[in-house]
Chain A
Amino acid sequence: MATLEKTFALHVPSSTENLSMIRDFVAKIGAMAGLDEREVMKLELAVDEACANVIEHAYGMDHSKEVKVKALLDADKIQIEIVDTGNAFDPGGVRQLNLEELVAQRKNGGLGLRLIKSIMDDVHYQIVPGEKNELRMIKRLKPRAKDPA
């Protein structure tokens, strides 16, 4: 059976106000992929965290910038790409502190990244200097029961 790949895109101004719109967009993709309510929320959370990072850190709350979210859905996976043209930030370079250390330092940095990594099956960050930063995340789908022939 040929697998149809579907692509969806959402571009929003870089403002935390638009995080809810991004979550709604992702929730619809998750539902379309057959995820249950808890899985949909986790997918929303991973994308919310990634976009909040772009809005706050890459773009420094500059509302004139644009956050681009692209979702690609096929039978095996949901792939989300988040593209920005702001300050590059390599999540791989962040040391993961444990919760006690973060509390002791009154920090919450790194929590979002930890959530993303615990939710998504594959997280890849690519910096194209002077052009763009792209975070690609993949959630693999559990095989669904085959339709009766």
Chain B
Amino acid sequence: MPNAFTVERTEQNGVVILALDGYLDAHTAPQFEKAIQDEHTAGRNQIIVDCQKLTYISSAGLGVFMSFIEEIRAAGGDIKLAGIVPKVYQVFEVLGFPALFDIVDNVPTALTHFADGIRPPE
């Protein structure tokens, strides 16, 4: 499946973990958008996006992070990104995401950041 993309949802200590797998582009971004929207609508605003198996991202996927981050933070939550592989990280870097988002090496670190209330500087 050349366009394969899945979002797998789990929950740990009240934090939602959305594990992305595959290609996040203009075709698959609506699926990711719905996953984040569903959590936000249900009042679950502590979200970790596990990117270990994310092999590709375009601006459509990056736009999902951008369009929700303010609302989710305003609701007292955050979207933290974990485990981005170097090839994909370069895209986040080009657009300056590290200054705006809490990007960490892995899910356990992201969970610790939630527990400790750590956020990137406003």
Spell out A's residues near B (CB within 8 Å): 16-17, 19-21, 23-24, 37-38, 41-42, 44-45, 48-49, 52, 55-56, 98-100, 102-104, 106-108, 111-112, 114-115, 118-119
Contacts and interface: CB of A to CB of B under 8 A. Distances in A.
Contacts of B69: 103
A19 B2 CA distance: 9
Interface SS, A side = helix
Closest 8 CB pairs of A and B: A108-B63, A16-B27, A20-B2, A111-B59, A112-B59, A52-B26, A20-B3, A16-B26
Contact of B25 (A42, A48, A99, A115): A48
Interface string B1-16: 0110000000000000
Interface of B: 2-3, 23, 25-27, 56, 58-60, 62-63, 66-67, 69-70, 86-87, 90-91, 94-97, 99-100
Contacts of A114: 94-95
A16 B62 CA distance: 16
A19 B59 contact: no
Nearest to B88: A41
Given A24-B2, A106-B70, A99 B90 contact: no
Contact of A41 (B2, B25, B87, B96): B87
7 contacts: A20-B3, A41-B56, A45-B56, A55-B26, A104-B70, A108-B67, A111-B66
